[in-house]
Amino acid sequence: MKITTEMTQAAYQISRDVYHGKMNRNDALEYLKSTHGMSKGSASDYIVNFKKMMDGEKFTRTNNAETTDYFLTKILTDYGISKLSKAIKATKEHVDYYEGLGRGNLNGIRAIVSRHEKALGSQVQAVYPDELENPESLFEGVRKTITVNSYERNPLARTECIEHYGAQCVVCNFDFGKKYGDIGQGFIHVHHLTQLSDIKSGYEVNPIKDLRPVCPNCHAMLHRKNPPYTIEELKLKNT
């Protein structure tokens, strides 16, 4: 049976409803079959794969290229870069699994994943729009801040930090999603707690121990001195 664009879009919405507990799986399967003509097998695959993508876990049944692209696009729009990162991870693990079975290559899906990885990278870069482009012209203290930012911009570390703490400033509790709706969903800076003197060649960031989500205002205030203020110190100034 050919999966149409309409089926894909409906399956995404129903998969969301099942994932969030708004509809039970049996009702979802029956709805997709009776209303959109999907087989229960295909509908079940979509629901399972959506959950696996949201949780960053390998799935074993293959979505077609259009579905893969649509799901990744909508996950970014609806849930932000943290969930997109998980969905990309799950899809890449699926491709490796499928190709490891010797049934052929999923080059089209690999290309789609690569495109969404670039989108993920651009989202992370956009978190630091005020970063200066010519650090060689700055005095040493500011250069150190730029160096720390290069560690903070590791997309996987940043994603794990936000997944753990949420996209809400740990200093002032500001939430861009609550204030600005869809365009602010998942937007936050990430501040590095580890002092520059502790960052050596080959240093591996611990996203939970080393990073904290902060709004741009609080991020700037943390760096008003060198070494930066601690989160606790800035909280006292924010009272």
**Alpha helices per DSSP H over 20-135:** 25-36, 40-55, 65-79, 81-100, 107-126
Give the pair of three-digit tokens for residue 6.
């309409």
Residue 115's nearest CA partner among 90, 88, 154, 137 is 88
For the chain, 239 residues long, give each residue's pLDDT as a single digit of tens.
789 999 999 999 999 999 999 999 999 999 999 999 999 999 999 999 999 999 999 999 999 999 999 999 999 888 877 788 899 999 999 999 999 999 899 999 999 999 888 777 655 544 444 333 343 433 334 444 434 444 445 566 777 888 899 999 999 999 999 999 988 888 899 888 875 455 555 567 788 988 999 999 999 899 888 788 999 999 998 77
β-bridge partners, 190: 213
CA gap 76, 83 in Å, rounded: 7
- The DSSP secondary-structure symbol of 109 reads H
Radius of gyration of the chain (CA): 21
Q: How far apart are CA 144 and CA 198, in angstroms?
A: 12
Q: In this structure, which amino acid lies at residue 110?
A: R
Half-sphere exposure of 112 (CA within 13 A, CB side): 22
Chain Cα centroid distance, residue 238 = 29
Distance separating alpha carbons of residues 120 and 180, to the nearest angstrom? 20
Task: Record the pTM.
Answer: 0.57
Tokens 């899906």, located at residue: 109
Distance CA 215, CA 179 (A): 12
Nearest in space to 124 (alpha carbons), one of 89, 90, 150: 150
